[in-house]
C-alpha cells in the first residue's frame, strides 16, 4: 500500500471519470428537457392529462433509482429487445430525472401569481405569448435553484449504473481496489473526482442565488 497507488491508477480512474461525465451530460440534457416539457404540459392540459402526469411523477418519486434501473436493465430483454446495458440504464436514469424536473417546473409555473396572468390577458395577450413572455421567465427564476440541485443529485446517482456492470468511474474504482486493496486511497481519490465534476454546478447555484437576491 504505497501512497502513490492513487497516482499510478489515476489515468485509469480518469478514463472512468470521462464516461461518468458523458453519461451525466446525456442524462442531464435529456432528463431536464423531458421534464421541462412534461412540467409545462401538466399546467396546460385538462384534468385527465393532469392525472396521468401526476401519476407519472408520484410513481417515479416513490421508487428508488436502483430499482427503476434494475427494472430497465431486465425489462428490455424480458420484452424481447436486445439493448446494451448502458442504454437500458441510461434511459431509466433519464426517465427518473425527468419526473423530478417535471414537478419542479410544474410547481414553479403554478407559483406565478394569478394577477400576472390577469394583467397579461387584459392587454389582449394570447395564451402562448403569456406563457413565453410572462409565466416562463418568472417561473425560471423560481425553478433554477432546485433544478441545479436536482442536477447535482442526477450526476451523483449515475454511479448506480456500476451495479449492472456499466463501466464508469465507480466501477473502475472498484476494479482498482480489488487489484490493489488500497480502498482508502482510491475511494478518497474518487471522492475528489466526483467533487470536481460537481463543483462548477454548485458554484453556479450560489451565483444564481446572489443574482436573484440583487434583482429582488
Partner 1 sequence: MPMIEIRDLRKSYAELEVLKGISFDVEKGEVVVVLGPSGSGKSTMLRCINLLEEFQGGGIRIDGEAIGYTTTEGGKRRRRKEAENAKLREQVGMVFQSFNLFPHRTVLQNVMMGPLKVKGIARREAEALARDLLKKVGLLDKADQYPARLSGGQQQRVGIARALAMQPKVMLFDEVTSALDPELVGEVLRVMRQLAQEGMTMIIVTHEIHFARDVGDRIIFMDHGAIVEEGLPANILANPKSDRFKQFLRRYQGDYLDT
List interacting residues with partner 1 (CB under 8 A).
Answer: 113, 115-116, 118-127, 129, 133-134, 137-138, 141, 215-216
Q: Nearest distance from residue 132's CB to partner 1, in Å? A: 9
d(CA 21, CA 83) in angstroms, rounded, equals 22
Q: Nearest distance from residue 211's CB to partner 1, in Å? A: 13
| CA angle (112 as vertex; 108, 118 as ends), nearest 5 | 150
Q: Do 181 and 116 touch, CB atoms closer than 8 A?
A: no
Q: Nearest distance from residue 174's CB to partner 1, in Å? A: 48
How many residues are present in the chain? Answer: 216
| Alpha-carbon distance values, 211 to 23, 105, 134, 206 (Å) | 30, 20, 20, 9
| CA angle (117 as vertex; 114, 123 as ends), nearest 5 | 145
The answer for residues whose C-beta is within 8 angstroms of residue 60's C-beta and 6 or more apart is: 68, 95, 96, 99, 100
Q: Nearest distance from residue 95's CB to partner 1, in Å? A: 32
Cβ proximity to partner 1: between 1 and 215 the closer is 215
d(CA 30, CA 138) in angstroms, rounded, equals 23
Cβ proximity to partner 1: between 42 and 134 the closer is 134
DSSP annotation of 101 = H
Cβ proximity to partner 1: between 11 and 113 the closer is 113
Cβ proximity to partner 1: between 22 and 133 the closer is 133
d(CA 162, CA 170) in angstroms, rounded, equals 6
Cβ proximity to partner 1: between 131 and 164 the closer is 131
Cβ proximity to partner 1: between 2 and 129 the closer is 129
Amino acid at each position: 500500500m504505497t501512497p502513490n497507488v492513487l497516482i499510478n491508477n489515476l489515468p485509469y480512474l480518469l478514463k472512468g471519470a470521462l464516461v461518468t461525465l458523458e453519461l451525466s451530460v446525456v442524462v442531464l440534457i435529456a432528463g431536464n428537457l423531458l421534464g421541462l416539457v412534461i412540467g409545462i404540459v401538466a399546467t396546460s392540459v385538462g384534468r385527465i392529462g393532469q392525472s396521468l402526469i401526476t401519476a407519472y411523477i408520484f410513481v417515479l418519486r416513490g421508487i428508488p433509482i436502483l430499482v427503476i434501473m434494475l427494472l430497465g436493465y431486465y425489462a428490455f430483454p424480458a420484452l424481447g429487445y436486445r439493448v446494451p446495458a448502458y442504454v437500458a440504464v441510461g434511459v431509466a436514469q433519464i426517465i427518473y430525472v425527468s419526473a423530478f424536473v417535471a414537478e419542479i417546473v410544474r410547481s414553479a409555473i403554478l407559483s406565478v401569481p394569478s394577477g400576472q396572468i390577469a394583467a397579461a390577458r387584459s392587454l389582449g395577450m394570447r395564451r402562448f405569448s403569456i406563457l413565453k413572455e410572462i409565466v416562463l421567465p418568472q417561473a425560471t427564476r423560481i425553478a433554477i435553484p432546485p433544478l441545479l440541485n436536482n442536477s447535482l443529485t442526477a450526476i451523483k446517482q449515475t454511479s448506480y449504473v456500476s451495479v449492472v456492470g456499466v463501466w464508469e468511474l465507480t466501477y473502475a474504482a472498484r476494479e482498482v481496489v480489488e487489484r490493489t486493496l488500497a480502498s482508502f486511497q482510491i475511494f478518497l481519490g474518487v471522492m475528489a473526482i466526483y467533487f470536481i465534476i460537481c463543483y462548477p454546478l454548485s458554484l453556479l447555484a450560489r451565483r444564481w442565488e446572489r443574482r436573484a437576491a440583487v434583482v429582488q
